[in-house]
Structure 1
Amino acid sequence: MKIGELARETGVSVRLLRYYEEQGLLDSERTSGGQRVYAPDAPAVVRRIRALLGAGLPTRVIAEVLDCVCGSEAEIEPCLSPMLVARLDAIDEQIHGLQDTRSSLAALVAATEGRRLATAD
């Protein structure tokens, strides 16, 4: 399968497919004319990459774990569970920190609005 066909089948741009290849996420062979040719399972690999990216994993982590993904996009080998749980915990910490930041900012905005109303009277 050529890169254009893979792009059409997966809905992923040619540029992004090249990026996945540069990052070691996707393999291709070259024809004598230098064109990329992908294996028949390439669409499934691209869907797995997209699912892992959608879950917030960076490409460097995906490169390490992609071989542990099997079947459909959602089927992950149990050995990945601790890494995924750790990633989820880190995201939860980020969310908590952002909620604290938002609360502080909202308090500042409320205080500023309160002062505006007091001086307008």
Structure 2
Amino acid sequence: MRIGELSDRTGTSRRLLRYYEEQGLIFAQRCENGYRTYDDRLVDRVLQIRGLLDAGLPTRIIKQILPCLQTPSIVFDEATPEMLAVLEDELDRMTRRIDCLTRNRDAVTAYLGAVRADA
């Protein structure tokens, strides 16, 4: 597929897709005319990258852990102390964010229940 289709299917701008390619997160093949073509499997990979970025992970860490996320059992021989510290910090931050989102969801649920009961 071409970059426009990948962009449409993932909701990711073409500019960001090119950035992901520059960072080594995704790879394209080049046609004779110079156009990029992408494998269909990259749709899931781009969505995974976006999720990890939304969670606050930097692209340099995402690049290191992406190969681990493609297999059922994670084996990573090149983990540096810095990478592990970043991941632990991000895990703590995600947990706090999930807790906050859960509290907000519960508050909205309670509010909707109260409003519907009055209606």
TM interval, shorter chain, is 0.5 to 0.7
Aligned to 2:50: 50
Whole-Å separation in 2 of the counterparts to 1:8 and 1:76: 31
2:69 pairs with 1:69: yes
Are residue 21 (structure 1) and residue 21 (structure 2) matched?
A: yes
Q: Structure 1, residues 14-69: CA drift from partner, whole Å, max 9, x if none?
A: 00000000000010000000000001101001001001101110001111111111
How many residue pairs get matched? 87
Counterpart residue type for residue 15 of structure 1: R
Identity %: 46
Unaligned runs of at least 5 residues, structure 1: 93-121
Distance 1:64 1:35, change over 3 A: same
| Residue number among 70, 83, 87 corresponding to 2:90 in the alignment | 87
Evaluate the alpha carbon distance shift between residue 47 and residue 76 of structure 1 in structure 2; reply closer, same or farther with a 3 A threshold.
Answer: farther
User: Following TM superposition, by how much is the alpha carbon of 1:78 offset from its aligned partner in structure 2, in angstroms?
Assistant: 7.7
**Counterparts of 2:4 and 2:42 in 1: how far apart (Å)?**
12
Matched letter for residue 43 of structure 1: V
TM-score, with structure 2 as normaliser: 0.63
The whole-number CA distance in structure 2 between the counterparts of 1:45 and 1:77 is 17
Mark the structure with the bigger radius of gyration. 1
Secondary structure, in 3 states, of the residue corresponding to 2:52? helix
Aligned mates of 1:13, 1:43 — CA distance in 2: 13
CA distance in 1, matches of 2:19, 2:41: 18
Instruction: Say whether 1:31 aligns with 2:51.
Output: no
Shift in CA distance, 78/21, structure 1 to aligned 2, threshold 3 Å? same
Structure 2 gaps, min length 5: 95-119
Q: Equivalents in 2 of 1:54, 1:14: separation in Å?
A: 18
TM-score normalised per structure 1: 0.62
